[in-house]
Structure 1
């Protein structure tokens, strides 16, 4: 049967594992996710480092997508987490950040205790040489109430941190950061921004993430 005739929830699933009906975790997904999940992995093109840089330069982070089969797994996993923990937020704070509370110790980026660097558990469909990290913070990164974009002060604070933490150890041209718009955040109430590194040293990643392993790898 040609894949175009398949319902979206059967695409990328081996025929022997086809469910009789649409799984619960896919029933309420939006049209955008239905379209992506219904795309064969073989038709999906991963973004190059140059394309990633251009997307961030244009502030079009809505153009980042997961590989179709990864998006399906992400939806399945988060559906399970919400049942077990009540929300993705509860899982992140308890199991990933291990923070007893979100009370900050000092000013933004002043204390390491207010920051945690982890892998993005379910990274976007980008070149395999691109490593996607999430920098979680107990402090707020100020946004302009009119534009919703970061203030000049907050942008400088982040850039200074990225320079000190990443660009001092990785070629500057191989480091880029961005912050999702509020409407695109999958986890609210815990502040965070994203750093992408091109072909970084594995030992550096081990050090900077304290040996973290993304959930996608653990589930796989």
Structure 2
């Protein structure tokens, strides 16, 4: 069973009335002839949808606005929120640039950023001190370089393995999703290594499988259906918080909120040496 970063349950049915009408939101065969607006976000050149962003922003009613509080222009989604079907297809197609907040959410986020700026506090320091209650010295990189990125000989370098490394928190500034959809962030003291072969700071296929297994143990084996869950890790250029590794988990409205509440502030169900032996042995 897998709840992969780039896959969702293929048996899921789709509604004919969906905005994406059971089709790919990305037209891989179309050559884009539109000239991007000067306010367009600085999307990595190897992003799957770089040349289609203007038309996709228009399709999803997303406006680009500049703000002195943000390093890049802000995306504002007008109209209806993202549906669960749209969320799953966006994650499945790695079209993460499409996620956006609505105008009110964006305004609240900007106020939050302004308050941090006024208090001379960075977003990283705020998250460490006020949300995670970790010290800056807790954040660490892997100590050893090994061929597969991970080795059971170095358990301190295994992601989602040490209980004290992980904390599950709600995303205080989620994207504009339908009511009832939950957006969590799972934070790691150990930096989740980027794929050295990725130009945009994505993670390797092995890392995705490791995270899949952790999420399977934490959510799926506790009653969450695979089709009611997706996850992703923003590549580097899309991250608002870069120095503390985290993944995003989005859960459909069918998921029991009482179960999720019990998970908050915990590490979930971390991996074992046996898990890693199977994962590393398969690669």
TM-score (norm 1): 0.75
Contact 1:85 1:91 in 2 (8 A): no
Distance in 2 between residues matched to 1:31 and 1:118, nearest whole Å = 25
Distance in 2 between residues matched to 1:103 and 1:125, nearest whole Å = 30
* Structure 1 position 145 matched with structure 2 position 199: no
Structure-2 change in CA distance of 1:31 and 1:210 (3 Å): closer
Distance in 2 between residues matched to 1:57 and 1:138, nearest whole Å = 27
Find the counterpart in structure 1 of residue 138 from structure 2. Answer: 102
Deviation at 1:146, TM superposition (A): 3.0
Distance in 2 between residues matched to 1:187 and 1:161, nearest whole Å = 22
The structure that is helix-richer by fraction is: 1
Among residues 220, 224, 239, which one is paired with 1:167 in the alignment? 220
SS in 2 for 1:118: strand
Among residues 87, 94, 108, which one is paired with 1:73 in the alignment? 108
* Structure 1 position 185 matched with structure 2 position 259: no
Deviation at 1:82, TM superposition (A): 2.9
Deviation at 1:53, TM superposition (A): 0.4
Find the counterpart in structure 2 of residue 11 from structure 1. Answer: none
Structure-2 change in CA distance of 1:178 and 1:28 (3 Å): closer
Find the counterpart in structure 2 of residue 22 from structure 1. Answer: none
Matched pairs, number: 181
* Structure 1 position 86 matched with structure 2 position 121: yes
Contact 2:186 2:248 in 1 (8 A): yes
Deviation at 1:26, TM superposition (A): 4.4
RMSD of Structure 2 on Structure 1 (CA) = 2.3
Q: Gaps (5+ residues) in structure 1?
A: 1-24, 212-220
Among residues 74, 77, 98, which one is paired with 1:63 in the alignment? 98
After alignment, is 101-110 or 199-208 more displaced? 101-110
Find the counterpart in structure 1 of residue 186 from structure 2. Answer: 135
Distance in 1 between residues matched to 2:242 and 2:67, nearest whole Å = 21
Structure-2 change in CA distance of 1:27 and 1:82 (3 Å): closer
Higher RCO, 1 or 2 (CA under 8 Å, sep at least 6)?
2
